[in-house]
Chains A and B, each alone.
Chain A
Amino acid sequence: MNFRQHLTNPVLNKEFRVRMRSNKTPWIITFYLFTLGFVLFFMLYTELSNQYTYWPSNIYNLFVMMSLLQYGLIIFATPGLTAGAICGERERQTLPILLTTNLSSLQIVLGKWISTLSFMLLLVFASLPIYGTIVLFGGVALTQIIEIFGVYLVTMLSIGAVGICVSTLTKRTGVAAVITYSLVFAYTALLNIAELFLLRSMENDMIRKAGFGNPPENLSNHPLIGFLEALDTINPASTIARVFTKENWLVNFRTEGLFVNYQPYGGFILWYLLLAILMLGLAAFFLRRRYMK
């Protein structure tokens, strides 16, 4: 399979065609933009009505709210769109035909993944004018917008890949969607719980080491600090908080001076890209094996 064949993936072409002709597509785009737009203009109205002036910091809060809402919509929509990628073919009884063609498992998986992500990207890019409205009022740095869109992108890539992998391993679209939602929720919740538990344990450790009445050493001297940094790097809540506050969440509020030279944004992007590659590899590996038995 050469590079040109990758670019002209028949599954991708077919998915684009089928998706954009579906009656559901304009409704999904409308619902998505309407939700974002309604929230934005409702908040702008409550913020600006009865006022002769406005504070950029208030608009900044609006940006944070909008970004979190958009992030929530992405987390909500991506598993729903990817869950049916392979299961849908199985349910429609088109999968056996697809598997007897010359298409490789990876081509099928990539075609499905890219088409779903393209649609998600369409939704996110369609929301840019709504973001533009916020930027008009000032208070938001361009780098923050770029960074938050970077977070959106890798979130879509990775959750989309997880969704495709689960869709490969399960038989029903509904089951695949529930499992993917559960995995995303469990990942986020467990990561935050683990991080808090580790932080508390490390603090207690330092206090015990210092002895009663003595000030504890800085946490940066704890042997497990690298592990805590690693957990914090792959924590989406921490990364989003850092984009908004430019401070290290969870850890920094207790340990001043920590993570001074620590740039976790790149690590976050890299981790989720690796996760996406791993999940797509697993999906391609299991696609024919799971069907064949």
Chain B
Amino acid sequence: MIEIKELYKTFGRTVALRGITLNIPKGQVYGFVGPNGAGKTTTMSIMATLMSPTAGVVRVGGYDCKTQAKEVRRLIGYMPDFFGVYDNLTAYEYLDFHGASYGLQPQERERVILQMLELVQLTGKTNEYVDQLSRGMKQRLGLARALVHNPQVLILDEPASGLDPRARIEMREIIKTLRDAGKTIIISSHILPELAEMCDTIGIIEGGELVAEGKVQEIYEKMRTHRLLRIRLLDKHEALLSRLHDTSGIINAVRDGADIMASFSGSDAEQATLLASLLAEGYPLVSFGEMKGNLEDVFLEVTKGGGS
């Protein structure tokens, strides 16, 4: 549904995108992750026909974003990271204006607007002025606006930024509903665990390059160089610490209260061997397990603190 080939974008001497290539099949939710200034918004703006690529091709639904912008605009619903609303318009009128902008007839608009307001849980705010809505409500209204012409592709640039936890959860639930409805969604965010929950595929972008791409678990596996073991035992903490420091595959081990945290670079088999040997040596183990690193750890590891 979305096809990007060797995409380059420069602003004067600044190179914003350096040969990004990605494919997003129909009905997939693609998470775009990267530090500030990595090139997420630039890529999404090009997809939304708001910018021209310096080189490369971007196609949405088979249409070229540069030469067939009109056709692309019919297919996409775009929600920028920052967007304003008009004063003196009610939520209904705001959606009505955008529905009319997409050429929807008045009767059709009325039906769609009521549906969209219900989807984003703003039915009770139909006749309220948009500038009086809370940030979370404005974001949801923005999403309804992007959906008013029933686009096949949704481009959501950090839709949850600046929202409180409740509003974030509400936004996440709406996006899940849209995913279930078969929309192709590309979404960028800094709230990585949320992306992991919603997205089929994640792309990590840094310095204008796509540095990692794949299923969430695949990326995690690919980027992981060691695992973190949490070992809880009744006593003999100091003895175990010195034992671990002499063990091959243990990079580091520190005490954390009743637990010992150990970085282990071995395989699953080596981890099983270590557990067996510790039990055989009589350490009073209560638990022995791997701590799941989250996507943020992967993100930090992959991007190495890049961006601005």
Residues of A within 8 A of B (CB-CB), count: 24
Task: Given A10-B101, A100-B49, answer yes or no on A17-B84 (Cβ-Cβ < 8 Å).
Answer: no
Q: Does B190 contact A (CB under 8 A)?
A: no
The interface size bin for chain B is 20 to 34
**Contact B87 A22, beta carbon cutoff 8 Å:** yes
CA distance A103 to B74 in the complex (A): 10
CA distance A97 to B103 in the complex (A): 15
CA distance A291 to B84 in the complex (A): 16
- When distances are taken between beta carbons in the complex, the residues of chain B under 8 Å from A22 are 87-88
A13-40 vs B, Cβ < 8 Å mask (1 yes, 0 no): 1100110011000000000000000000
**Contact B83 A14, beta carbon cutoff 8 Å:** no
- When distances are taken between beta carbons in the complex, the residues of chain B under 8 Å from A18 are 86-89
Task: Given A22-B88, A293-B11, answer yes or no on A8-B100 (Cβ-Cβ < 8 Å).
Answer: yes
Q: Does A50 contact B (CB under 8 A)?
A: no
CA distance A22 to B131 in the complex (A): 13
**Contact B78 A92, beta carbon cutoff 8 Å:** no
Task: Given A96-B80, A292-B52, answer yes or no on A102-B101 (Cβ-Cβ < 8 Å).
Answer: yes
Shortest B51–chain A CB gap in Å is 5
Q: Looking at chain A's contact residues, is the secondary structure mostly helix, strand, loop, or mixed?
A: helix
**Contact A17 B89, beta carbon cutoff 8 Å:** yes
Interface residues of A (CB under 8 A from B): 5, 8, 10-11, 13-14, 17-18, 21-22, 92-94, 96-103, 291-293
User: Other CB < 8 Å A-B pairs besides A10-B101, A18-B86, A100-B48, 15 of them?
Assistant: A14-B86, A14-B89, A18-B88, A92-B84, A93-B84, A96-B45, A96-B50, A97-B80, A97-B98, A98-B101, A100-B73, A101-B73, A101-B98, A102-B74, A292-B51
A-B contact pairs, 18 of them (CB 8 A): A14-B93, A14-B97, A17-B88, A18-B86, A21-B88, A22-B88, A92-B85, A92-B86, A96-B48, A96-B78, A97-B145, A98-B101, A99-B49, A100-B73, A102-B70, A102-B74, A291-B50, A292-B50
